[in-house]
Structure 1
Amino acid sequence: NDFPAMQSFVQRMVETLNVNDNRDRVSVVQYSRDPTVQFYLNTYTTKGDIMAKIRGLRHKGGRPLNTGAALQYLRIMSSRPLGGRSFDSVDAPASALKQMGVLIFAIGTRNTDTREMQKISHEPSYALSVSDFNDLPNVQQQLQSSVEAVIVEAVPESPTVPGTLSNCGICFISLTVFSTVDSANKDIVFLLDGSDGTRNGFPAMRDFVEKMVEKLNVGENNDRVSVVQYSRDADVSFYLNTHDTRDDVLDAVRGLRHRGGRPLNTGAALEYIRDNVFTNSSGSRRLQGVPQMLILLNGGRSNDNVDTPAAALRDQGIIVLGIGAGRSDKAEMQKIAYNSSYALSVSDFADLPNAQEQLSSVMGTTMVQKLYVVFLLDGSDGTRNDFPAMQSFVQRMVETLNVNDNRDRVSVVQYSRDPTVQFYLNTYTTKEDIMAKIRGLRHKGGRPLNTGAALQYLRDNVFTASAGSRRQEGVPQLLILLSGGRSFDSVDAPASALKQMGVLIFAIGTRNTDTREMQKISHEPSYALSVQRAETPRRQTSKHRGSPGVRQGQCLYRLIWE
């Protein structure tokens, strides 16, 4: 009797996914005494096919319920409803799946054994309960939020230096980065030449945008889209936070009408977009590390200068791709674009479909995310005994990175009264060299502790192009501060300046650190982490108290690239 409710639940979950061959994939398995695969992860590559198959599912029947055998049979599962207590043991099969890295959610009814469900799940808090399967909609949002959050749990290693911060259970901050455009959230603005000279080509521009949007995973926490037309002035058709679904965006795109007007002021339009569209209030998530992209469709030479506005966009980390048609000036488009290879050309707008595959390829290359990490270590007199633990922490973090000239980069800075750069982002390009340098670090010493001055120094001397930062190219910049005391100077302005540059800041403090000060420094209060006792790392903020995973001996650190 409950099977239709389970079907409906699976349908609603699939509706939230972006199903295709290179994105999300889905499999469904039924089981009782034995499991039966309804379809595998590679059976269907479209949401329509999957939904049709789910609607056509028929209840399997059978007994007894052998959940352990089903788990053993499966090696690929992320969430599934259960309807009773298993007649066989689930311990070994569940453990084997977890060892493979499968993240397991279990949803049970009142007939289900709670402890069994908790054994199966990734952790006890991932075992959800409903009175019966008709109540599944009540837990869907909870499950969806958990699935979407990038949460990695890390258990502290055994202490290596007695009496130091190693004992405090500082554990890895697992850095989840995306390797292709298809796996990263993006903010994309289409800038369309709506001047008199593009009247005949405008339907082709509109079709091009529509086809591009169809490939995106549009949502408030996924891809966001804005469209702007311009001629003499710029006119926003809709902002990045206007529409939350792909269908709404597509409807808005299909409804676009040619603006008209002259002359063509591309420079003014670029400046307008920088000041009014790639902003927090308009839905841009630049300060959260979300990649920002501008796609310009242009049909003529600009009447004003584009150099300064284009440079300003690059300084903000916005990737600009340009497609020129008709009388568009090739040299001008190359000035505007991220680099010359990002300036594409077609004979006229009717040929835009020929450029679409090329643009998608360029986008994929552009959005391969690297990570540039700066560690700022409190080297004042008060942290002398703790310094080996800080070194160990940095080593473990670097171990998780993919360090080379074209991927992740690392810098380490110590500070007390003044900061001292141990090495810059462009000093070393191999993990081995970085690890050797970290092992050889010596405690700086000194007092007082001027955290504000250190943050200002990083802004002016480390997160710069000359020191190896590629912030202007949209590469995510991460600062991890390890502090053991309260600053003698103000941190407000320097921390704010770093955030305005798009630097994502985590601050880890001890019991001697000022909680509010660490929260001011961090990207947001929940990114201020605290080591209060030897065995209990925890977040600073009360809003996370009691959240899943915040307990003695382990902690969840979330790094959200959304």
Structure 2
Amino acid sequence: MYYLVGTGSNKRDIVFLLDGSDDSRNGLPAIREFIRRMVEELDIGEDKVRVAVIQYSNDTTVYFNLKTHRLKKAIIYAVRSLRHKGGRTRNTGAALQFVRDHIFTASSGSRHLEGVPQILLLLTGGKSNDDVSGAALDIKQNGVLSFAIGMKNTKQDEFSYSVLVELESPQRDVVFLLDGSDDTQSGFPAMKSFVQRVVETLSVGENKDRVSVVQYSRDPQTHFSLNTYKEKQNVLAAVQQLNHKGGKPLNTGAALDYVRKNAFTDSSGSRHQDGVPQILILLNGGRSQDDVASAAAALKQDKVVPFCVGTRNADILELQMIAYNPSYAFSVLRFDDMGSIHQQLVSFVKRVPRQQPRLKSHNVLGKNIYLS
């Protein structure tokens, strides 16, 4: 757990958001002990680590904010005194929005304007009764690194914790697969422009979003891999320099198989083993001359999430077969019209959740913590 919150003298603002609904009542003693032991390891201080504790159910209650306690012993005493809130409804989305609007603020002791890392640890016992996605996106856009920690009720006085997913992944591996056949030559500048527009919305970096571009016709060609560029401006410049490949026939099935075996691999920079979302964006202008079904199924089996954008000359049923689900297949009249679906595509891409990486059991501070 400590790789999330750190130890030592680094400055951090850490907010614990606790599920106080009726379902979590039995786990409160374990929750208190979990937080207490974690705080024991932190370098608490006004100019060091600050901690807040918030509890929610149908509504949200501030137990103490980031500026309430400056001493470790005061925080530990307050945590030991924590009482269960209660409430039948678990409104996690509203609670996330509350901490964004009222806790990660200067008036509540947040130092986000000074560049101090803002960390949210959500301990929740079940599915939310309201929508979480919009609030999670707002939290991320506010610069907060957020993690959800699921609580599995095992005994009256014991909870088992496992780090599930970041509320919205700050890391993605995105591979663009471009139709470079003879039929798309006139539309290739629009394809490049679309790729650049999508990349502009990403946070490109070695430990953030990674981007690769592959072009294909009869056979595929990698222009750059996921581990080639670490800066957004370098990705954008490389896309601008792309030349149309040309060639016939259009073998989309072979291209899908190629990216699965070559682009989404450790050696090419893929972080699939870490649970980072693996995203394929196919821009296509015609029907494939080979079979796509088996290659598409293999991609999904490997937990790759394909999105497809096709022109009027593409086979929409074929694209729906390739896409992760039919709503991830978009149809436009021509490549120049892709701007009309840009916002929706980006929205879908950013909602792709982290995969659960293979978990290893660790005994951390006397609790069962499962970390990848």
**TM-score when scaled to structure 2?**
0.58
Residue 218 of structure 1: SS of its match in structure 2? coil
Correspondence for 1:261? 247
Secondary structure of the residue aligned to 1:504 is coil
Q: Match of 2:196? A: 210
CA contact (8 A) 1:186 1:291 kept: yes
1:282–1:256: structure 2 CA closer, same or farther, 3 Å change rule?
same
Provide Cα deviations, 1:121-168, integer angstroms capped at 9, x if missing partner: x9xxxxxxxxxxxxxxxxxxxxxxxx979799x9xxxx989xxxx7xx
2:351 corresponds to 1:504: no
Kindly provide the CA deviation profile for residues 49-98 of structure 1, in whole angstroms up to 9, marking residues without a partner as x.
xxxxxxxxxxxxxxxxxx69xx99x9568xxxxxxxxxxx94399849x9
Q: 1: distance between equivalents of 2:289 and 2:160?
A: 53
Equivalent residue pairs, number: 252
Unaligned runs of 5+ in 2: 1-10, 12-45, 52-63, 80-98, 112-118, 120-143
Q: How does 1:155-554 map to 2 (within 5 A)?
A: 172-180=160-168, 183-365=169-351, 367-368=352-353, 476-477=355-356, 504-507=358-361, 529=362, 537=363, 553=365
Letter in 1 for 2:275: G
Q: Would the alpha carbon gap of residues 325 and 174 (structure 1) be closer, same or farther in structure 2, given more than 3 Å must change?
A: same
Letter in 2 for 1:175: V
Provide, for residues 413-441 of structure 1, a one-character-per-residue CA deviation record: whole Å limited to 9, x for no partner. xxxxxxxxxxxxxxxxxxxxxxxxxxxxx
What do you get for the CA RMSD once the two structures are aligned?
A: 3.9
Percent of aligned pairs sharing the same letter: 43
Structure 2 CA distance for partners of 1:93 and 1:202, relative to 1, 3 Å: farther
Partner Cα separation in structure 2 for residue 362 and residue 234 of structure 1: 26
Q: 1:148 to 1:330 in 2, by over 3 A?
A: closer
Paired AA for residue 358 in structure 2: L
User: Counterpart amino acid of 2:273?
Assistant: L
Cα offset, 1:361, TM superposition: 2.9
Measured after TM superposition, the shift of residue 266 of structure 1 is 0.5
Residue deviations 1:191-210, cap 9 Å, x none? 00011111110111101010
Deviation of 1:359 after TM superposition, in Å, equals 0.9
Q: Name 2:125's counterpart in structure 1.
A: none
Paired with 2:145 and 2:227, the residues of 1 have a C-alpha distance of 19
Secondary structure at the aligned position of 1:235 is classed as strand
- Aligned CA distance change for structure 1 residues 148 and 340 (closer, same or farther; 3 Å): closer
What is the TM-score with the length of structure 1 in the denominator?
0.40
- Check the 8 A contact 1:150/1:558 in 2, yes or no: no
Cα deviation, residue 278, structure 1? 0.7
Counterpart of 2:22 in structure 1 is: none
Give the drift of 1:246.
1.3
Who wins on radius of gyration, i.e. which is larger?
1
CA contact under 8 A between 2:296 and 2:322: conserved in structure 1? Answer: yes
8 Å CA contact 2:148, 2:167 repeated in 1 = no
Q: Which runs of structure 1 show a deviation greater than 3 angstroms over 4 or more consecutive aligned residues?
A: 74-77, 89-96, 98-106, 147-152, 171-174, 553-560
Amino acid at match of 2:326: S
Matches of 2:290 and 2:183 in 1, distance apart?
Answer: 16
Look up the SS of the partner of 2:247 in the other structure: coil
Structure 1 partner of 2:71? 91
Measured against aligned partners, the alpha-carbon deviations of 1:357-392 in whole angstroms (never above 9, x if no partner) come to 121233244x145xxxxxxxxxxxxxxxxxxxxxxx
Inter-partner Cα distance in structure 1 for 2:147 and 2:207: 12
For 1:341 and 1:160, the matched residues in 2 are separated by 44
Q: Distance in 1 between matches of 2:320 and 2:298?
A: 15
Following TM superposition, by how much is the alpha carbon of 1:293 offset from its aligned partner in structure 2, in angstroms?
0.8
Structure 1 gaps, min length 5? 1-12, 14-66, 78-88, 107-121, 123-146, 370-475, 478-502, 508-528, 530-536, 539-552
Structure 1: distance between partners of 2:325 and 2:110: 45
Distance 1:259 1:94 in 2: 66
| Cα 1:557–1:248 shift into 2, 3 Å | farther
In 2, distance between residues paired with 1:278 and 1:239?
Answer: 9
* Maintained 8 Å contact 2:160/2:368: no
Shift of the 149–235 alpha-carbon distance from structure 1 to 2, 3 Å rule, reads: same
SS in structure 2 of the partner of residue 362 of structure 1: helix
What residue identity is the alignment partner of 2:222?
A: V
Q: 1:320 to 1:91 in 2, by over 3 A?
A: same
CA drift of 1:172 comes to 4.8
Is this contact kept in 2: 1:268–1:309, CA < 8 A? yes
8 Å contact kept, 2:148–2:166: no
Over 3 Å counting, the alpha-carbon distance change for 1:280 and 1:368 in structure 2 is closer
Equivalents in 2 of 1:293, 1:309: separation in Å? 15
The within-5 A match list for 1:118-133 is: none
What SS class does the counterpart of residue 281 from structure 1 fall into? helix
- Per the TM alignment, residue 184 of structure 1 is displaced from its structure 2 partner at its CA by 3.7
* CA drift at 1:326: 3.5
Larger strand fraction of residues: 2
Contact 1:151–1:556 (CA under 8 A) maintained in structure 2: no
User: CA 1:201–1:293 in 2, change beyond 3 Å: closer, same or farther?
Assistant: same
Question: Relative to structure 1, is the Cα distance of residues 90 and 331 closer, same or farther in structure 2, using a 3 angstrom cutoff?
Answer: closer
1:266 maps to a residue whose letter is T
What residue identity is the alignment partner of 2:243? R
Amino acid at match of 1:301: R
